[in-house]
Amino acid sequence: MPSSFKDEGFFSHIRRIEKMRDQLNNIKTQAENELSAVTAIQELENLRVKFLGKKGELTSVLRGMGSLSAEERPVIGQLANEVREFLENKIEEAKKRLVNSERNKKLADEVIDVTIPGKRKILGTKHPLSIVIDEITEIFLGMGYEIAEGPEVEKDYYNFEALNIPKNHPARDVQDTFYINENVVLRSQTSPVQIRTMQSKKPPIKIICPGRVYRSDAVDATHSPIFHQIEGLVVDKGVTMGDLVGTLEIFAKGLFGENSKIRLRPHHFPFTEPSAEVDVSCWACGGTGCRVCKNEGWIEILGAGMVHPKVLEECGIDPDVYSGFAFGIGAERTAMGRFNIDDLRLLYENDLRFLRQF
């Protein structure tokens, strides 16, 4: 073979090696410059893929090694491995730098200045109805009563018949009661809870029954189709009207003040006999007469009476052995009196200007 051919092959070999060496060195230099300027983890990841990924620049150069001779490959392979190791080290250094930088920034941003005044949280308060119901409940719990509950969708039997209210009684008029069907109603008082308790529990019984009730009333300043009652029941041997009066006096003094007095006026309820409307001395004027009590000195707050013998019999309690008294307190009326509210609708409109007063 002529020497000129040998020289040409030698120089071609040198050119290929130099070209790939230049490419690898350029990749190294470019990557080093770009890595030194990176400022975010995601940006660093993008550079890693750019230079070392499956379609990265270093991989593209290495694919050209197939055209190299057996003597050329070790030379380029060693340089490529050095460049790869260099880039991996630089990427790891950049990653540590970015992680530390982000951590330091986060710590700086989250520093708590304990000298800055705290932000006052706006807390809710009890609704005036809840205040009154809770106060009344606490008074009777303090006298040894238990709380009893029952369904608001009630059978006609418990809402009327067991309470000595016959089919033709005016209280059954559809204008007063919400009927779901002939035998099911929305309870018009919490008295059905008393019936259920007397039928399931033997005397002595001493309960209060707070809850929502429903009547077909038009909404105005003193009426609502939904309101709240707290009814009470005591059944035992030897219970008298005097026990009822004493209980209501303790209740009135506990809710309206030690100087409060009560009076009973004869009334009629089908489920009690005798029955009475109960007034309390005006909490605004003490009984002398004012705008709150319409100058009468008294305010009606509840109805009460001795449990009718027929009601006891219906519940399987012998009226010759046991007697009892019952009472029912209107929570809305009591709240209106307690807080001098002149329109019942204010209790349901959720006006924050009104509710913040409590």
At the topology level of CATH, where does 3-109 sit? Methane Monooxygenase Hydroxylase; Chain G, domain 1 (1.20.58)
**Looking at the chain, which runs of residues are DSSP E strands?**
146-147, 153-155, 179-181, 184-186, 205-214, 226-236, 262-269, 272-281, 298-307, 323-330
The 10 Å Cβ neighbour count of residue 239 is 19
| pLDDT of amino acid 2 | 46
Contacting residues for 349 by C-beta, under 8 A, at least 6 apart? none
Cα radius of gyration rounded to whole Å, the chain: 45
Position 102 pLDDT exceeds 90: no
Tens-place pLDDT, residues 31-51: 778 777 787 888 878 877 777
| pLDDT of amino acid 301 | 87
The 10 Å Cβ neighbour count of residue 79 is 18
Position 67 pLDDT exceeds 70: no
Identify the top-confidence range among 81-90, 184-193, 213-222: 184-193
Decide: 312 and 322 in contact? Cβ < 8 Å: yes
Q: Picking from 118-122, 164-168, 199-203, 223-227, which range would have the lowest pLDDT averaged per residue?
A: 118-122
The SS3 call for residue 32 is: helix
Q: Which residues of 6-15 are buried (b: 16+ CB within 10 A; e: fewer)?
A: eeeeeeeeee
Domain ranges of the chain: 3-109, 128-355
Tens-place pLDDT, residues 271-318: 999 999 999 888 777 778 887 677 888 888 899 999 999 999 999 999
Give the whole-angstrom CA distance, residue 201 versus residue 213: 23
> pLDDT-derived band of residue 174, with 50, 70 and 90 as boundaries?
low
Give the whole-angstrom CA distance, residue 288 versus residue 58: 102
Give the whole-angstrom CA distance, residue 166 versus residue 64: 105
| pLDDT of amino acid 320 | 96
Q: Picking from 49-53, 55-59, 115-119, 285-289, which range would have the lowest pLDDT averaged per residue?
A: 55-59
Q: Picking from 57-66, 116-125, 162-171, which range would have the lowest pLDDT averaged per residue?
A: 57-66
**0.75 exceeded by pTM:** no
Largest CA distance in the chain: 142
| Listed residue (335, 73, 75, 66) closest to 222, CA to CA | 335
Identify the top-confidence range among 172-176, 216-220, 247-251, 347-351: 247-251
Mean pLDDT of 137-145: 95
| pLDDT of amino acid 237 | 96
- Higher-confidence position of 156 and 64: 156
Do 128-355 and 3-109 have the same topology in CATH?
Answer: no
Position 335 pLDDT exceeds 70: yes
**Looking at 116-261, which runs of residues are DSSP E strands?**
146-147, 153-155, 179-181, 184-186, 205-214, 226-236
Contacting residues for 339 by C-beta, under 8 A, at least 6 apart? 128, 357, 358
Residue whose entry in the numeric block shows the structure tokens 């990924």 = 53
Distances (CA, A) of 103 to 36, 106, 206, 234: 19, 5, 66, 69
> pLDDT-derived band of residue 343, with 50, 70 and 90 as boundaries?
confident
Give the whole-angstrom CA distance, residue 125 versus residue 355: 8
Position 135 pLDDT exceeds 80: yes
Architecture of domain 128-355: 2-Layer Sandwich (3.30)
Position 180 pLDDT exceeds 50: yes
Position 3 pLDDT exceeds 50: no
| pLDDT of amino acid 91 | 82
Mean pLDDT of 175-201: 92
The SS3 call for residue 279 is: strand
Contacting residues for 222 by C-beta, under 8 A, at least 6 apart? 344
- Higher-confidence position of 48 and 149: 149
Decide: 208 and 231 in contact? Cβ < 8 Å: yes
**Chain-wide mean pLDDT for the chain?**
85
Decide: 17 and 75 in contact? Cβ < 8 Å: yes
Start-to-end CA distance of the chain, whole Å, equals 112
Position 24 pLDDT exceeds 70: yes
Helices (H), 257-358: 309-314, 331-338, 352-355
Return the percentage of the chain with pLDDT > 70, whole number: 91
| pLDDT of amino acid 16 | 67
| pLDDT of amino acid 1 | 45
Q: Which two tokens stand for residue 124?
A: 């809710």
Decide: 263 and 157 in contact? Cβ < 8 Å: no
Decide: 132 and 279 in contact? Cβ < 8 Å: no
Q: Picking from 2-6, 147-151, 199-203, 312-316, which range would have the lowest pLDDT averaged per residue?
A: 2-6
| pLDDT of amino acid 133 | 95
Mean pLDDT of 123-152: 93
